[in-house]
């Protein structure tokens, strides 16, 4: 059994523009993109905002 990721485990700093640039034509993100940012699959609710908050604090 794998442990579910928590928002506080996400430490990468990524801008909203960078996140949006990785969006697929169908409007989602690939596992590879999420992994690059340290987000597990399936992504925990609030992952996008957490990355942006980390970016804004850096």
DSSP string, 23-39: --TTS---HHHHHHTT-
CA 8 – CA 30 distance, rounded (Å):
21
Tens digit of pLDDT per residue, the chain (58 long)?
456 899 999 999 999 999 999 999 999 999 999 999 999 999 999 999 999 999 999 9
Burial, 57: exposed, middle or buried (Cβ in 10 Å; 0-12, 13-18, 19+)? exposed
Please report the pLDDT score of residue 3 as a whole number: 65
Task: Give the 3-state secondary structure of residue 58.
Answer: coil
Prediction pTM value: 0.90
What was the pLDDT predicted at 4? Answer: 80
In this prediction, residue 11 carries a pLDDT of 96
């Amino acid at each position: 059994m794998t442990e579910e990721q928590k928002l506080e485990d996400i430490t990468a700093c990524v801008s909203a523009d960078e996140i949006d640039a990785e969006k697929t034509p169908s409007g989602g993100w690939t596992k590879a993109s999420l992994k690059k940012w340290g987000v597990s699959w399936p992504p925990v609710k609030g992952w996008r905002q957490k990355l942006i908050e980390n970016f804004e604090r850096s």
